[in-house]
Structure 1
């Protein structure tokens, strides 16, 4: 699958989504009606390295990374305990090859926050991670409800 197909899937499957491009990525925010300044993001598509995120070598031609914010219990069921937060500009210490294509991995920078990623997911891999996207969306909806109630 390419990043535009994934973007189309996310925006068509999940209601209230606003994709916002910034910093070499597209962030998917749950923000129905634009009630919050940005909303709550739950997934991103990144197609180039950032100043603090080069572990996936996204400068390779055609390489992109889908990032998904999942729950702590789900992260732990996939990878064990969350790694420690890396120092500024650093990478989480999990022993994974963050340049591997088509493989679910902890996020190289935000794994400590229960984010996961996959570089260039195939259609088969995407099908297996769709439940993770749905979980991330549900978490964003719940966070949004709390924030909107307070504001």
Structure 2
């Protein structure tokens, strides 16, 4: 999967606000080139919630293990909930992993190297092995974010 395919997939979901920071928009330079997905049907950046998924194209401070400084490398980060986290990693977010996963390995679903303890999953350069899983995880993260938004807004369950 390419970044553009992922952006098209997630950005096409109802109520998704896609932020793509760049020069001149007031965002920190560190975020330029990355993509952030929020559930925000009013199109306003939420101030009380994190994005439900991101695409990062570079190393961040204290997050160099994925080696995103390599040409053409990006990482999809997904908050798909505890159940999916356990399904993919074999352990709860705050529990230690049985074996260390290589955070730089491409086309592999792993606990996020920094935010795994918060239940985030990550995939470096999703490819043939993880395309279906990445799509599924993004869909799950979207549904969870939408449900959270509706619960906070007092929308009755459907």
Indicate the TM-score class for this superposition, using the shorter chain for normalisation. Answer: 0.7 to 0.9
Partner of 1:28: 37
Would you identify which runs of 4 or more consecutive aligned residues in structure 1 move more than 2 Å?
34-40, 80-85, 146-149
Residue 134 of structure 1: aligned partner: 139
Gaps of 5+ in 2: 22-30
Residues 32-64 of structure 1: per-residue CA shift (max 9 Å, x gap): 013663565211000001113111010000000
Q: CA RMSD in A?
A: 2.5
Q: Distance in 2 between matches of 1:40 and 1:141?
A: 12
For normalisation by structure 1, the TM-score amounts to 0.82
Runs (5+) with no aligned partner, structure 1: 86-91
Q: Does 1:110 align with 2:115?
A: yes
Q: Distance in 1 between matches of 2:56 and 2:44?
A: 26
2:66 alignment partner, SS class:
coil
Structure with greater proportional helix content: 1
* 8 Å Cα contact 1:18/1:29 also seen in 2: yes
Instruction: Judge conservation of contact 2:82–2:93 (CA < 8 Å) in 1.
Output: no
Question: Whose strand fraction is larger, Structure 1's or Structure 2's?
Answer: 1
The higher-RCO structure (CA 8 Å, 6+ apart) is 1
Report the TM-score, using the length of structure 2 for normalisation.
Answer: 0.79
Q: Does the C-alpha gap of structure 1 residues 36 and 125 become closer, same or farther in structure 2, counting only changes over 3 Å?
A: closer
1:148 CA displacement: 3.0
